[in-house]
Amino acid sequence: MVNELKDKIISRQAYIGIIGLGYVGLPLTREFLNAGFSVLGFDIDPVKVEKINRGESYIKHIQSGFIASYVKTNKFSATNDFTRLREVDVIIICVPTPLGEHKEPDLSFVLNTTKTIAANLRKGHVVVLESTTYPGTTEEELLPILESTGLQVGKDFFLGFSPEREDPGNKKFSTRTIPKIVSGVTEHCLDIIKTLYDQIIIRTVPVSSPRVAEAVKLLENIYRAVNIALVNELKTVFDRMGIDIWEVIEGAKTKPFGYHPFYPGPGLGGHCIPIDPFYLTWKAKEYDISTRFIELAGEINAYMPYYVVEKTIKALNAHKKSIKGAKILLLGLSYKPDIDDLRESPALKIMELLMREGADVDYSDPYFPELPPLRKYKFDKKSVNITPKTLKNYDCIVITTNHSTFDYDMILEHAKLIVDTRNALKLKGIVNGKVYKA
């Protein structure tokens, strides 16, 4: 069966099923389609399913024309009928792994998906988890559910973990060009899964077990979270000293070895960095280990939206204006510039905190004409067009995301007061009492 499956994959006869058509699943779908495979997408969101089947994209960097061309030739379609999992040969899981109310892992999407797969599992199925999770999930959680069907891993079906490494908006690396970590529960599983990703990714990197692959993804994001926390903490220290952290970083990064620049901001965003470290801290408790370093980094990064609000209040006070009743405009809502992704965006937390203080808060973001309902937030707001006239209507402009489409010269000229959390204006310190770094 192993050689038959590999031949089917190499000849592009394998039918690919991808569960979760979001910021991971849809770019992955694109690569399989480009490589000549047929793809059946699964999602519980009927809006996404309907849009795909109409040939429409809902993610900025995936063009509707591309989707439409493959829908038209019947190479790609979407469904919320999960009994159709029996039709596909490969099942790739790209569902969310959020945190619970107390920052504990919420594997409900993964586990419910796995139970659905088990109900439709057949001999010859290849199942790959791409969702970020703690070490042991694939073998301790997914495998027992799938083997409860009576089918045996490595013989009747094949299971492994290959962490997603998507970076929306990255112009240098794409899904295809980012090296792909691959693993399997057995040698046969690894062999088949490596063969699968070899067809669409320039370089695959096999590791010895799913536990190692799961740990690789956590290490990558914990490394970033800890270093971002470091510069965020230094930002608050240097601010008290009257030193611009951005100028310090520019100087430090001239060293050609032993230093890699990380940048401060209003908080962490995206699905990975604010969430993934807590998957490890939770799992580590099972082994009686306290991950104090990681937890401290999480505390520092989680504090940043509060810090921005504190700086905004101080800036308004300096202009003899109370936060209560102040008209504030947030520039940019997505978690990083030039993308249409709101997941865990610190701008949303800042909006909530400012409103809690009694401010009248609007936003401007070209990627979100109006704010959709989100898991944590439900703001009934629409984007404001930025003009010299509208800028003058606000007591304070807070730059929360530095989109390249914003006219910063015009903003600097016409805004009464600016709190810049991203160094978007490229200015040092306070300029004429008008621009404040936060």
Task: Report the SS3 class of residue 42.
Answer: strand
Token pair of 364 as six digits: 């401007």
CA dihedral of 365, 230, 169, 77, whole degrees rounded to 10: -100
Q: Over the range 378-412, which residues count as b (16 or more CB within 10 Å of their CB) and which as e?
A: ebeeebbebeeeebeebbbbbbbbbbeebebeebb
Token pair of 430 as six digits: 């306070």
Query: Which neighbouring-strand residues pair with 160?
Result: 128
Say if CB 224 and CB 273 are below 8 A apart: yes
| Cβ within 8 Å of residue 99, ≥6 positions away | 105, 106, 275, 278
How far, in Å, CA of 28 to CA of 10, rounded?
Answer: 17
In the DSSP assignment, the letter for residue 35 is T
Say if CB 159 and CB 143 are below 8 A apart: yes
**Residues annotated as catalytic (active site), given as ranges:** 272
Half-sphere exposure of residue 177: CA atoms within 13 angstroms, side-chain side: 6
Q: What angle do CA 36, 41, 46 make, to 5 degrees?
A: 150
Per-position DSSP letters for 88-102, written without gaps between them? -SEEEE-----B-TT
Q: Which of 421, 140, 110 is nearest to 264 (CA)?
A: 421
At 272, which amino acid appears? C
Say if CB 212 and CB 159 are below 8 A apart: no
Query: Which neighbouring-strand residues pair with 419?
Result: 398, 436
Give Cα 429 distance to the centre of its chain: 31
